Amino acid sequence: MRRSLSERALIPVSFYERDALIVAKELLGMRLRRGPVLLEITETEAYRWPDDSASHARSGRTPRNAAMWGPAGRCYVFLCYGIHHMLNVVTHPEGEAAAVLVRSARVLAGLETVAARRRGRTGPDVAAGPGKLAQALGLDLTWNGHPLHEKGGLELHFGSPPARILAGPRVGIDYARPEHVQAPWRFASGDVAAVSRGGPLSEIHGDLT
């Protein structure tokens, strides 16, 4: 018998305790659940450790980026442009600072709740963008540090990996060093149209590191 959408297993902590590039790719197809709302992740970005001049942790530990330093499997939520909240998944073992920004998702369930949070919008792009995604889930700064691997609140569940993965440069990081601006650490599901604004993505080829 087919399992219902809400019966997928929670993702264990060990999933998160790896390189952010690996986690970023494998998060595609996974599912974020909060109450009636279920989202399938379609786009991610890796922020690595060490040596990533685009990362919020590039200058060491601060009160804002504290969640990035672990433990893995928790949320790092921050406010962008004073308006939009961004959801990150903390990766790597505790003591290292890395995270994956969840940039886009498609709605599998709970569209009514999403629409209420998104000013009545219901289109395919309703959660295509990190600000839109956090708003669809009703997240704010109080969710910073919330564990995704434990039952309750916001949970991350297994889903179905995409058949093809696209990759490209990360979005909105012009302040970073050229090699980090160009690094193809943004990933998207090849079979889903709902992707955020940003530069072009191409079929993934060789290794990633």
Partner DNA sequence: CACAGGATCGTT
Partner DNA sequence: ACGATCCTGTGT
Contacts of 64 (CB under 8 A, 6+ apart): 56, 78
CA within 13 Å, CB half, 9 = 4
Contact mark string toward DNA, 135..174, x via CB under 7 A: ------x----------------------------xxxxx
CB of 52 to DNA, least distance (A): 8
Q: Contact at 8 Å (CB) between 34 and 138?
A: yes
131 is a site residue for DNA (CB under 7 A): yes
What's the CA gap between 190 and 133, in Å, rounded? 19
Among 1, 83, 142, 151, binds DNA (CB under 7 A): 83
Pull the structure tokens for residue 87: 């959801």
86 is a site residue for DNA (CB under 7 A): yes
Contact mark string toward DNA, 43..82, x via CB under 7 A: --x-x------xxxx-x--xxxx--x-------x-xxxxx
Pull the structure tokens for residue 154: 């916001």
Pull the structure tokens for residue 40: 């399938």
Pull the structure tokens for residue 112: 């009514």
Interface residues with DNA (CB under 7 A)? 45, 47, 54-57, 59, 62-65, 68, 76, 78-84, 86, 88, 99, 101, 118, 121, 129-133, 141, 170-175, 196-198
